[in-house]
């Protein structure tokens, strides 16, 4: 039996990182990005639908509705991108600070850090002796990486990227916003609002189902929440637009 086939090696791979190892972490990261994309598209649908339906309640001018919708799309997508960039930049700064602190502690107190890693592995179900052996092997291979994964839940090779997050939010919001924008400007004036409402509620139903599936939650509750929120937003803005238009 080689070292890579040993029971200790198996335990290290099974318990060496939050979420069950690199493969699980990668899957979890992809699901988080996909969920963020669905939520970004959902925001684009609701906010733009509320805006264009409100304007449509105030005027039948296609150019006015289009101008408002495009302005809302640009403002919303850029705002989402900027907010995501700031948020993820703060997260990355925190991750870097935590890694730097861990690097300093490993240099100054290696024995204490080894003991801490042993305790963390033991808390995950390993026997004390096996946890100690695993901690020693992980420390010998890459002490910082071991502590980053087990103690901090951070993959040093995959720190949060604010540019990726900003771009993903911008694209997701834009894709979502295009649906109500096209639905309101393409039909004739008498059909604009009904067509937009139907298209938006159908899209929100789909977003609710997808987000529920990704989160492992009941689909009906997510769909009802989504549809009710979108319908309320459009009803309120249409009523206000109609009132102001008259």
Residue in this structure with the two tokens 């490993």, named with its chain if needed: 106
CB 72 within 8 Å of CB 48: yes
Question: What six digits make up the tokens of 27?
Answer: 């899957």
The pTM (predicted TM-score) of the whole model is: 0.73
Per-residue model confidence (pLDDT) at position 8? 43
* Burial of 120 per CB tally in 10 Å (0-12, 13-18, 19+): middle
- Residues 193 and 65: their CA atoms lie apart, in Å, by 11
CA 139 to centroid of chain Cα atoms: 32
Which pLDDT score is estimated for 82? Answer: 93
CA separation for the pair 208, 137 (Å, rounded): 45
How do the pLDDT tens digits run along the chain, 246 residues long?
A: 444 444 444 344 444 444 444 455 555 555 566 667 788 889 999 999 999 999 999 998 999 999 999 999 999 999 999 988 998 899 889 888 888 888 898 888 888 888 888 888 888 888 888 888 888 888 888 888 888 888 888 877 777 788 888 888 899 999 999 999 999 999 988 899 999 999 999 999 998 888 888 777 888 988 999 899 999 999 999 999 999 876
Within the chain, how many helices (H) and strands (E) appear?
8, 0
Taking Cα atoms as reference points, which of 166, 175, 171 lies closest to residue 45?
Answer: 175
- The rounded distance, in Å, linking the Cα atoms of 197 and 52 is 11
């Amino acid at each position: 039996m080689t070292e890579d086939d040993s029971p200790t090696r198996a335990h290290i791979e099974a318990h060496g990182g939050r979420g069950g190892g690199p493969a699980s972490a990668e899957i979890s990261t992809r699901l988080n990005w996909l969920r963020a994309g669905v939520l970004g598209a959902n925001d684009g649908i609701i906010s733009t639908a509320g805006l264009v339906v409100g304007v449509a309640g105030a005027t039948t001018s296609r150019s006015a509705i289009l101008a408002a919708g495009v302005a809302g799309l640009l403002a919303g997508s850029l705002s989402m991108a900027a907010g995501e960039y700031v948020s993820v930049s703060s997260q990355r700064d925190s991750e870097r600070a935590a890694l730097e602190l861990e690097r300093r502690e490993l240099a100054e107190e290696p024995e204490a850090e080894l003991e801490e890693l042993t305790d963390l592995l033991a808390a995950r179900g390993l026997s004390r002796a096996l946890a100690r052996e695993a901690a020693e092997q992980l420390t010998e291979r890459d002490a910082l990486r071991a502590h980053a994964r087990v103690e901090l839940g951070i993959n040093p090779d995959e720190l949060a990227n604010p540019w990726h997050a900003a771009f993903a939010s911008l694209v997701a919001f834009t894709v979502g916003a295009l649906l109500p924008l096209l639905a309101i400007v393409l039909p004739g004036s008498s059909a604009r609002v009904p067509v937009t409402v139907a298209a938006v509620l159908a899209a929100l139903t789909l977003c609710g189902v997808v987000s529920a599936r990704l989160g492992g939650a009941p689909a009906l509750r997510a769909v009802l929440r989504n549809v009710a929120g979108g319908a309320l937003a459009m009803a309120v803005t249409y009523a206000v637009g109609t009132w102001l238009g008259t």
